[in-house]
Structure 1
Amino acid sequence: MSTTIPSVPAPGVTDQPQVITLVSKKVPVMYAVLTLALAAAVGFSSQAGDTTFRLATRHDVYKLPAITVPAEATAWVMVALMSLCTAESVRRYRARRTTPLWLTAVFSVVGMTGFLSWAAAGGSIPVVGLLAGALTLAVPLVFGALGGVLGERAGVVNIAIDGQLLAGAFAAAIVGSIAGSAWAGVLGAMAAGALVALVLGVFAITYFVDQVIVGVVLNVLVIGFTSFMFSQVLAPNTESLNSPPRLGPVAIPVLGDIPVIGPIFFRQSPLVYLLYVAVVVVAWALYRTRWGLRVRAVGEHPKAADTVGINVVRTRYRTVLIAGAIAGAGGAFYTLVSVQQFNREMTGGAGYIALAAVIFGKWDPIRATLAALLFGFASNLQGVLSVIGSPVPSEFMLMLPYVVTIFAVAGLVGRSRGPAAVGVPYRKG
């Protein structure tokens, strides 16, 4: 005869599973810091006059009227709205709830409106030019970020993004000049980026060398090689080897005539249109195809992927090569769109900004693209404020893109986790 004794839970213990939500306080703290910074700027440096926001260009078929606002009053109103957003973020933190993305977007738009109203007092802000220029400057960052997302999703840390961008710019100049075709230059840039990625793969995947060290060394190596080739080969033969055709702006009929949106998105270089396609294809392939599932599997748990028949080494090599080719295409922007000539170290460390966009975007291609656009906006804002004679010190202008990067990654990204096996060499067996 058996007796069943029912289990009696201990006092205060429940059989129901409990979910503990970890909420970072970095977001409300960063909201408060930025709000106080704008309030201090407006309070200690009063700006009289009005600020005009121009919403049209002289080439627009349908022109929207400009908006003129009192500079200081508008700035204080935006500070008040930022304070409300901060209070809402604090309330959510105390309730153990995360700050939603839409609130961050509202806070960013409100804060930027207040800053521009104060910084451009007595002048005008070309809104369309500011945003269109931001998109253009973000092109290499987005291509680099896409390459970084793919590489790290496969488990390989791609510190060499800057080297891939620089190699792409170098190859685009030479191939475009010799072939007399800008698109041949783009293909050359992709091949150069893939070549740098191949070297990264050989050392990181095959020989298990520390991936961060290999990436840094590759960046330095590409800088040294391209600088030597520029001074010894390109400079003496500028006409034949360093004068590639330009991929100038091409307006898309009908779409380019839409007010505000048209000039920003549809009067761009063909390389920008290629960027649109790349973002969609990478996002679709990573989440909607068998290949993308395998890439994510080898980046999260390569041993488990191996047990179900996925070739981890081959998958990582293929993904790293594709990532390098995409990043190399971004390098073509410098010599085929921006300057139309190769110069030493012309990427200016953009690869590291792209890597920050990967982290800010939490290893997602769409989010990484949006992060890269934010950094492109900061870079273009620096130039626009300098042109209109803003009271913001020129030294701060030069720092602006990097300050935005630090604030975004350190303060607004919240808690993030990269692929579990990223940076870990896979040894079969």
Structure 2
Amino acid sequence: MSMTDTTVTRTPEVPVRERADVRRQVRLVVTLGLALALLLWFAVVIDDPTVSYVLGERVTREFQPQPFNGAIVSWAAVAVTGAALALAAVNRFPKGWLGGLLMVLVGLSFYLAFLVWAYADQTGSFSAAIANPIPGTIRVATPLVLGALAGCLCERAGVINIAIEGQFLAGAFFSSIFASVAYSSLVFIPVALCAPFGMLGGVLAGVLIAALLGLFALRYQVNQVVLGVVLTAFASGLTAFLLGQIPGDRKAELNDPEILQEIRIPGLADIPVLGEALFNQTILVYLMYASVALVTFLLFQTRWGLRVRAVGEHPKAADTVGIKVNRVRWQAVLLGGVFAGLGGAYYTVGSTGAFDRDVSAGTGFIALAAVIMGRWHPVGAAFAAVFFGFMLNLKTQLGFVDKLPTDLLGAAPYLATLIAVAGFVGRVRPPAADGVPYVKS
């Protein structure tokens, strides 16, 4: 009796791609394709590609304009973006930090090529030069970073903070008042300490708005989104009313503060291009640098930070193990008020001096967008805030050339905010209990 061997032929399995991976590929191909089309248009329409640049923020005796051939930059950007598009088209675009690095390279290439197009073919007697964007970016991004840190602390604890804009306004107003009063004859404080005293006023005002947020959100369980909008409107109306009550003959005493002086760090400030922008700044900017590290350390390296994240993710489980949920939330909200108040102080004692109505101009909402874009992580939110600060500074720089309408330039930073949050962050998950009041059962 013989047995016949039967061979079973198996069809090789075709790997099934996840929908998220497909959506990522489509998003990359569409985005890079549009970028490549714009870059090609930038490169082709230029008649004279010669532009000039200056390593400083403005033309000075030390920093003089230097000409260069912008066509090299334009076509190099086309090559970089084309290579990235090819990788995305065959689904070989890297993931993780390498993919992020490649996107940063593409974005930087697009930015440089866009500047070449914007500054090329200038007409008239005045010819603007491409300036170093880093100093202006740091100035604009400082309050955004501080506000984003406040948002991270609150939302990691489960409290939505829409009131960052209100904290900015209150902090800006009261920092101006405190610094002005300190400089006048009403309070005897050395002149060098008047502006730092104003920072104290900003902190107290930010904490006061945070206390109102905590009171109504945690004690009375008011809808936190509506509450944040109301607190922002309250701060805007209150500061405008108080500003109107200052008599004209007393503005020098009550709304004309000394501003913070720059502190140069020897050695670091001598680094080409970056040094002056990063290390010849006021104490408030240095506090911003330190605040990012401090909040990151508190949230991810301390027992208190673990409790904050626990009450933001699963407050009932945290309560089960003995954590006082609302107490921890109160602490996070009030600490966030400290950073938001410092961010508001930057608009007066940190930069312009006197307070003006709605001086923050809606940047508190951009700071909130940075929290989302940064995935509720202090470092990510800080980088997102710097990106938004870069876009706001770009609007100012492009005001010297006439390639784009003024109204479009004004809307560009907010459009970039919308695109970044809606398209490039991808699917993000906030803390599970964010915005959900906790009632002990």
- The answer to whether TM tops 0.5 is yes
Corresponding residue of 1:71: 70
Distance in 2, matches of 1:92 and 1:64, equals 45
Q: Give 1:47 shift.
A: 4.4
1:159-193 deviation line (CA, Å, top 9, x unaligned): 00000001000110111111221111111101101
2:382 is the alignment partner of 1:376: no
The one-letter code sitting in structure 2 at the alignment partner of 1:92 is N
Q: Of the candidates 177, 181, 188, which is equivalent to residue 180 of structure 2?
A: 177
Match of 1:160 among 155, 158, 163: 163
Aligned in 2, Cα 1:297/1:368: closer, same or farther, shift over 3 Å?
Answer: same
> Which of 7, 20, 23 is the aligned partner of 1:22?
20
1:200 aligns with 2:228: no
* Mapped contact 1:142–1:373 kept (Cα < 8 A): yes
Decide which of 120, 123, 129 is 1:124's aligned counterpart.
129
Matches of 2:72 and 2:402, distance apart in 1: 17
Shift in alpha-carbon separation, 1:96–1:332, aligned structure 2, 3 A: closer
> Displacement, 1:347?
0.5
Q: Is 1:149 aligned to 2:148, yes or no?
A: no
1:344 and 1:64 map into 2 onto residues whose CA distance is 36
* Separation in 2, partners of 1:278, 1:382: 27
- Report the aligned-residue RMSD: 2.8
Tell me by how many angstroms 1:21 deviates.
Answer: 7.5
Matched, 1:92 2:97: no
**Aligned ranges 1:150-299 → 2 under 5 Å:** 150-180=153-183, 181-233=194-246, 235=248, 237-299=250-312
The alpha-carbon distance between structure 1 residues 235 and 76, as it changes in their structure 2 partners (threshold 3 A), is farther
Deviation at 1:106, TM superposition (A): 1.0
- Asked if the contact 1:299/1:422 (under 8 Å) is kept, the reply is yes
Residue identity opposite 2:130 in structure 1? I
SS of the equivalent of 2:53 reads strand
Q: Does 1:80 find its partner at 2:79?
A: yes
Partner of 1:51, secondary structure, is strand
Amino acid at match of 1:165: F
Number of matched pairs: 410
Deviation at 1:396, TM superposition (A): 2.0
Aligned to 2:38: 37
Is the 8 Å Cα contact of residues 56 and 259 (structure 1) preserved in structure 2? no
Answer yes or no: is the 8 Å Cα contact 1:167–1:222 preserved in 2: yes
Quick one: structure 1 residues 231 and 427, their matched pair in 2 at CA, closer, same or farther if it must change by over 3 Å?
same
SS of aligned partner of 2:20: coil
Aligned to 2:113: 114
What is the Cα deviation at residue 104 of structure 1?
Answer: 1.6
8 Å Cα contact 1:190/1:329 also seen in 2 = yes
Q: Does the CA contact (< 8 Å) of 1:92 and 1:99 recur in 2? A: no
* Percent identity for Structure 1 against Structure 2: 41
Q: 1:323 aligns with which of 336, 340, 360?
A: 336
Preserved CA contact (<8 Å) 1:27 1:412: no
1:306: which partner in 2?
319
Go from structure 1 to structure 2 and tell me whether the alpha carbon gap of 1:343 and 1:277 turns closer, same or farther (over 3 Å shift).
same
Distance 2:291 2:424 in 1: 26
For 1:104, the equivalent position in structure 2 comes to 103
Aligned counterparts of 1:346 and 1:179: Cα–Cα separation in 2 = 22
CA 1:21–1:294: 2 relative to 1, 3 Å: farther
CA distance in 2, matches of 1:280, 1:136: 19
Question: Cα gap change, 1:115/1:274 in structure 2, threshold over 3 Å: closer, same or farther?
Answer: same
| Displacement after TM superposition at 1:52 (Å) | 2.5
Deviation by residue 1:56-104 (Cα, 9 ceiling, x = unmatched):
579999x899764323453243133222223323433799999821122
- Displacement of 1:244: 1.0
The letter of the residue matching 1:283 is T
Q: Counterpart of 2:377?
A: 364
Which residue number in structure 2 is paired with residue 55 of structure 1?
55
TM-score by length of 1: 0.88
Q: 3-state SS of the aligned residue for 1:392?
A: coil
2:7 aligned partner: none
